């Protein structure tokens, strides 16, 4: 049976890098943005639009199972949300069937719960997250630390809403994960080497 590692992560915590380095250490396939690319192909939606859907709070102005509303634009948005999540669910399960892998985000821990994945959640203090975001930001971006921290909180809030909407679970709750990893002032490369033996 394939080994599956899922990585939930706070924005700026280094979770994506940790997932990639874990995959390298283990010799597993690594899936992150590849999921968005595949969803876009199957739904004929742009990658940018799909990315917005999978990273932000779903549209919940009316129940998704209710018939047509009086607002066609809302109908279309709700249908896109449902289509994207449905394809994401299918693609993640297909990827888990192919080989042992590391999957970052996208409710993979919940979608693959019957496969008994090792579920990681990566977090860090605000100072470390701001520093990581600043190190990776384009040179022309000149956000203050305060604005960066606000942006991080907003993205994390959207991820929490998205996760709860599709799973009914609290995002980041230690009870929903097997290992919670604090990357505050920690070198991700060294951390990946230390965690890899637990994932085999």
Q: What percent of the chain has pLDDT over 70?
A: 86
- How high is the pLDDT of residue 74? 45
φ, ψ of residue 123 in degrees (nearest 5)? -140, 170
Nearest to 39 by CA among 29, 55, 30, 51: 51
| SS3 at position 79 | helix
Please tell me the distance from the alpha carbon of residue 15 to that of residue 19, in angstroms, as a whole number. 6
Alpha helices by DSSP H, listed for the chain, are 15-26, 33-43, 47-55, 72-98, 108-111, 126-136, 145-167, 188-199
- pLDDT greater at residue 149 or residue 84: 149
Cβ contacts of 171 within 8 Å, gap of 6 or more = 8, 159, 160, 163, 164
Torsion angle of the four alpha carbons 32, 36, 37, 41, in this order, in degrees rounded to the nearest 10: 150
pLDDT tens-digit map of 124-172: 999 999 999 988 877 657 788 899 999 999 999 999 998 998 899 999 9
φ, ψ of residue 75 in degrees (nearest 5)? -55, -50
pLDDT tens-digit map of 108-125: 999 999 999 999 999 999
Cβ(105)–Cβ(167) below 8 Å: no
- How high is the pLDDT of residue 69? 42
pTM value?
Answer: 0.85
Domains of the chain: 4-199 (3.40.50.300)
pLDDT tens-digit map of 164-187: 988 999 999 999 999 999 999 999
Give yes or no for residue 28 having a pLDDT over 90: yes
Mean pLDDT of 12-31: 96
pLDDT tens-digit map of 46-62: 887 778 777 665 554 43
């Amino acid at each position: 049976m394939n080994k599956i590692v899922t990585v939930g992560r706070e924005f700026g915590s280094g979770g994506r890098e940790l997932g990639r380095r874990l995959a390298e250490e283990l010799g597993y396939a690594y899936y992150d943005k590849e999921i968005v690319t595949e969803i876009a192909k199957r739904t004929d939606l742009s990658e940018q639009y799909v990315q917005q859907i999978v990273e932000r709070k779903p549209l919940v102005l009316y129940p998704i199972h209710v018939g047509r509303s009086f607002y066609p634009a809302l109908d279309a948005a709700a249908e896109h949300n449902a289509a994207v999540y449905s394809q994401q669910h299918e693609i993640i399960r297909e990827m888990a069937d192919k080989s042992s892998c590391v999957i970052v985000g996208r409710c993979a821990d919940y979608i693959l719960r019957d496969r008994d994945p090792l579920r990681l959640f990566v977090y860090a203090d605000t100072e470390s997250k701001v520093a990581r975001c600043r190190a990776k930001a384009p040179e022309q971006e000149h956000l203050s630390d305060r604005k960066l921290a606000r942006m991080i909180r907003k993205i994390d809030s959207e991820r929490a809403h998205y996760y709860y909407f599709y799973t009914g679970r609290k995002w980041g709750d230690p009870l929903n994960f097997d290992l919670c990893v604090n990357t505050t002032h920690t070198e991700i490369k060294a951390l990946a080497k230390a965690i890899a033996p637990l994932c085999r």
